């Protein structure tokens, strides 16, 4: 196995584009190293992106917030402006693993690991995050929900890496929230999860919404029907009921060691309702 730690995105891309055999990008390594040590993968090349300075930054621009691919989830949790603007995204990122893992793991890695149960992904999808990708043929941008295409599989092409994750500028009277179900209290993996991002008008009526679910399909889902169910409402009982039905209807889960189809379908709706209530209250709704 070869290990390399280039100092620029350009070099990283060039090395990956020319790699023969299996090549893996190393950010925090909290997924990659576990798979290597468990003998599940035997990479020929590991490209560490942590020496690329730009990728360590959280940049607050006029119209967006850029989170570098090497930014650890602990760094996100310590960034007050980010936390204030996107509490749901940060709480999702900060649920991954333990304190020790928080110091290493990244949301870009979480996204590229392409687990349907990834914690930060439904929150990013609900937030309308855009993913900035660099590759041998230049740069492109994708919506967060477009990156994973199947469990463990992304649409990234050979030589491409995620450079930044871009969150929109937070507008007035809007907020997000994320909830997951785990059997334990921490150090666990989502059996089902929900992220909700809402914008209200002055009267507390929802004008914009995005609802995403995790661990209920091969990839995290953006559930447009669920958003539609609550837009125009003040999140009253009836709207919440419609939200629940839309979420359950969108679920295409499997029975596995972590949960049943029945359980995931039902609890996805419960979590979406609860996350919506939290987001609504954070956005100033009463």
Partner 1 sequence: MTYDTQFTGQTFKSVGTRPLRPDGIDKVTGRARYGADYNLPGQLTGLILRSPHAHARIKKIDTRKAEKLKGVKAVITSTDLPDLTDGDSELFDILDNCMARKKVFYDGHAVAAVAAIDAKTARAALKLIKVDYQVLSHVTDVDEATKPKAPLLHRNCFTEGIEPKPAKASNIASRSEFGHGDVEVGFEQADVVVERNFKTEQTHQGYIEPHACVASFGPDGSAEMWVCTQGHFTFRQQCAALLGMPLSKLRVTSTEIGGGFGGKTHIWAEPVALALSRKANRPVKLVMSREEVFRASGPTSATSIDIKIGVKKDGTITAADAVLRYSNGPYPGVWAMLGAMTSFACYDLKNVRTVGLEVLVNRPKTTAYRAPSAPMAAFAVESMVDELADKIGMDPVAFRIKNAAKEGTKSSYGPVYGPIGIGPTLEAARKHPHMKAKLGKNQGRGMACGFWFNFGGQTCADLNIAVDGSVTLTVGTIDVGGARASLALVAAEELGIDYDDVKAVVGDTASLGHNDMTDGSRGTFSSSMAAIMAARNAIEELKNRAAKMWEIPVKNVIWEDGHAKAKGRGKKYAKLAPLSLADIAAETPNTGGPIAGYSELVADGAGVSFATHICDVEVDPETGRTQVVRYTVIQDAGKAVHPTYVEGQYQGGAAQGIGWALNEEYIYGADGRLQNPGFLDYRIPVCSDLPMIDTQILEIPNPNHPYGVRGVGETSIVPPLAAIANAVSDAVDVRMTHVPMSAPRILKALKTEH
Q: How far is CA 158 from the centre of its chain?
A: 22
2 binds partner 1 (CB under 8 A): no
Whether 196 and 272 have beta carbons less than 8 Å apart is answered as yes
Place of tokens 């020319």: 18
Minimum Å distance from CB 97 to partner 1?
A: 10
Residues 7-46 that bind partner 1 (CB under 8 A): 38-39
Residues 238-267 that bind partner 1 (CB under 8 A): 256-260, 262-263, 266-267
Minimum Å distance from CB 196 to partner 1?
A: 16
Q: If you ran DSSP here, which 8-state letter would residue 145 be given?
A: G
Q: Which is closer to partner 1, CB of 186 or CB of 237?
A: 186
List the one residue from 62, 186, 203, 286 that touches partner 1 (CB under 8 A): 186
- The length of the chain is 286
Residues 126-185 that bind partner 1 (CB under 8 A): 181, 183-185
The DSSP bridge partners found for residue 72 are: 106
Tell me how far apart the alpha carbons of residues 174 and 170 are, in angstroms, rounded to a whole number.
7
Q: Which is closer to partner 1, CB of 52 or CB of 267?
A: 267
Minimum Å distance from CB 273 to partner 1?
A: 9
Q: Which is closer to partner 1, CB of 11 or CB of 188?
A: 188
# residues near partner 1 by CB under 8 A: 22
Minimum Å distance from CB 263 to partner 1?
A: 4
In the chain, DSSP finds a helix count (H) and a strand count (E) of 11, 14
Residue 40: partners with Cβ closer than 8 Å, 6 or more residues away: none
Q: Which is closer to partner 1, CB of 68 or CB of 253?
A: 253
Minimum Å distance from CB 187 to partner 1?
A: 5
Q: Phi/psi class of residue 114: alpha, beta or left (left: φ > 0; alpha: ψ in -120 to 50)?
A: left
Q: Which is closer to partner 1, CB of 69 or CB of 269?
A: 269
CA angle 6, 114, 147 (to 5 degrees): 80
Minimum Å distance from CB 104 to partner 1?
A: 17
Q: From 159, 189, 88, select the one nearest 129 (Cα to Cα).
A: 88
List the one residue from 171, 187, 205, 249 that touches partner 1 (CB under 8 A): 187
Tell me how far apart the alpha carbons of residues 146 and 140 are, in angstroms, rounded to a whole number.
12
Consecutive H or E run containing 138? strand 138-143
Q: Which is closer to partner 1, CB of 184 or CB of 286?
A: 184
Q: Which is closer to partner 1, CB of 271 or CB of 276?
A: 271
What's the first-to-final CA gap in the chain, in angstroms?
A: 57
Minimum Å distance from CB 207 to partner 1?
A: 28
Applying CB under 8 A, which residues contact partner 1?
38-39, 181, 183-189, 191, 256-260, 262-263, 266-267, 270-271
């Amino acid at each position: 196995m070869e290990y390399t730690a280039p100092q620029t995105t350009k070099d990283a891309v060039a090395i990956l584009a020319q790699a023969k055999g299996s090549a893996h990008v190393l950010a925090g390594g909290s997924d990659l190293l576990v798979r290597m040590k468990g003998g599940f993968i035997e990479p020929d090349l590991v490209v560490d992106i942590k020496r690329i300075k730009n990728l360590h930054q959280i940049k607050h621009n006029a119209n967006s917030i850029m989170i570098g691919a090497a930014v650890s989830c602990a760094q996100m949790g310590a960034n007050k402006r980010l936390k204030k603007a996107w509490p749901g995204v940060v709480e999702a990122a900060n649920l991954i693993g333990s304190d020790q893992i928080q110091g290493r793991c990244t949301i870009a890695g979480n996204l590229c690991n392409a687990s349907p149960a990834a914690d930060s992904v439904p929150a990013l999808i609900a937030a309308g995050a855009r993913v900035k990708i660099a590759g041998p043929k230049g740069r492109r941008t994708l919506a967060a929900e477009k990156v994973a295409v199947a469990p463990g599989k992304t649409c990234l092409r050979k030589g491409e890496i995620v450079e930044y994750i871009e969150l929109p500028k937070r507008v007035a009277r809007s907020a997000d929230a994320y909830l997951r179900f785990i059997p334990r209290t921490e150090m666990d993996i989502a059996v089902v999860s929900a992220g909700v991002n809402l914008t209200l008008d002055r009267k507390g009526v929802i004008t914009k919404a995005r609802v995403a679910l995790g661990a209920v399909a091969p990839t995290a889902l953006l559930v447009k029907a669920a958003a539609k169910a609550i837009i125009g409402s003040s999140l009253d009982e009836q709207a919440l009921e419609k939200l629940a039905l839309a979420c359950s209807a969108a679920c295409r889960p499997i029975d596995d060691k972590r949960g049943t189809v029945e359980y995931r379908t039902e609890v996805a709706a419960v979590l979406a309702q609860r996350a919506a209530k939290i987001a609504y209250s954070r956005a100033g709704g009463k």
